[in-house]
Structure 1
Amino acid sequence: MAVGAEKMSGPDKTRTAAIFDGSWDVHDVLRSTATLLALGEGIETPAEFQDAGPHSVFMDVYQGFTKFHMREFGTTVRQLATVSSKNHVHSVDNLRSQYRQAYSVDEVLAARMIAWPLTLPMCSPVSDGAAAAIVCSPAALAKLHQSRVVQVRASVLAAGGVLLWAGNSPEYIEVMFAAWFAGAVIVPVNFALHPREVASIAEDCRAKVCFATLEKIGELQEFMSSEKRCTLPMDETALKTLRGEDRGVVDVEFSDVAWIFYTSGTTGRPKGAMLSHQNLLAMTFAFLADVDALSPHDCLFHLAPPQSHAGGLLMLRIS
């Protein structure tokens, strides 16, 4: 049996909001927050909503994104409330929704303010969760209730990947796509991690090659336990020596693992979530369809968060 649980909610709202403080780069919180909040410059928060009470730092970030959209596209607060109202109408008929209450546009606008202009019904709720899975033989299954049986058709362990430990750069994107063209799995990790943590992730995913910035190579090798793991510098000069003749693109299946995304490890050891090529393709299509369609004639200013995180994923939409 495999059991997982996550406790997020509690009577102390300040403590609940503080849980999110560890879910991003904890070494540079002030600079990261200031950079994202700057997106909303030019749209001032009304004086009566300057102090909206305790909330997670990500609500401030979402506030910055929202103000940016308001400034650039003329989006109004009422239009935002209309979107929220529509989504709550959908939830009424969804038996699996956490909350199944309809809100009118006016009710959304009148609700408690979280981070202007975002009121409570506009925000995702904080919730607890738990799940369990029982893996059993056909004989044992015959003794159990079978209304939610799932057959495991295949189980693949992605190993031998290419780990990337570096800041944002054109070389980062080159290595990402080179690895995919070769049929390998990429494992981008947070550049702010300690080399001991990076070495642990490399061991966990059984990475065969680790690319790191030149100044970090020595630190990483110090903690590496396997001499068979190749560590290479990720810079323009080093990559020139690795470039060879075009060998084409290795065929892969949609279900093959493409990206192993490690959690921050704030509540334990980091865990690798495996994203398939189909996951990445679906995400890219959804972005182009619902968020920002691009044409061959567009010029794009890519405001890049870390390429080991959303910055790398968002590069797929222009590739």
Structure 2
Amino acid sequence: MKLSPPQQRALMTAVNGRIQARPNTLEFLVRHDLAECRTEQCGTTRRTVVHHYVTDTGRVARGEIIAARATPGTRISTPMGKGTVTGKEGREGGSWVVLFRPDGQAETNIHAIPAMSVYLHLLCARCDAIGDNSMPARGMLCGFCAAQEDREDSPETRGRTAALHVRSGRLSRASRSFADQSAPSSEDGARRPLPRIAFESEVCTRCSGTGRRSFGRVCFKCNGTKRSLTRRGQRACTAYQAAVAKRCTVTMRELEPGDVIWHLTSGNRRGWVTVRFKREYEADPARGVLETSGKGYLGPFGTRFTIYRPDVLREIRTDIAKRFKGASLAEPEPGDPESDDRRAATSAAHP
């Protein structure tokens, strides 16, 4: 059976056998017995959810895909830790075994792991991590590194300092979240751009402005941006997020094709995406399938999404800047790539 690249990525990135992919990809895998649905209970909310797991047939197909990509020198992740592939061997029945050398061990110390093991993952050649759900997006690059490579090569972003925006109380680079997305089209060229809202920040006190902490890992307080919100900035950010959640959210049942919502982009980062179509999930009528210009969504119709309403967002930002000392507004400069509505929205807190 010939699988498309998204279907291959869905099998390759399965963590502990669990698959996360677009709804249409999941339906294809279930229909061809490569994945199965399991009803589980969430440990925190106690809600019943449906997850997809790799079947025995899917493990065989996954092993063939990984064996084809696991060439000598490829970086992999195993239960023993990270390592480098030295070769592969075929076994009876058409299965494959990947040979690798764990990091920090002698070159003669070679171990083997079945290619169909759900604990074997390919690592991104750039960041040396398992990556996101779109790994590998291009060759041996994860989705984030592929998008970052595109931004570095783009003349639009070359030599320009990325703007900062706040998501869930943390500062992160706006350009990181908006590498590849659809945004609202502007038929009125004279429409005023959204003002950019900024929250008071300071040098991160946990990592002292280095962006990394604890064995070189990304600092969880500043999310690697080297700056974190002050108390006044955090209060303003919390109030802004509460106002947006109250006035700019709708349920999945209320969404219509063409609406712009805050969701996962194709680079697996949060951003504005356009709804393409919505329908019921065949296996469960109480759940819906939402296809967007970014990542799809499969879940209950009561799930709430943040919808793009520029007039309401402008009013909320103006009000927050007047009420809180930790927030301020700045009009986009002419020619600024973020001067239109959709990109101005990226410089603020979620959304």
TM-score (norm 1): 0.28
Higher helix content, 1 or 2: 1
TM-score (norm 2): 0.26
Higher strand content, 1 or 2: 2
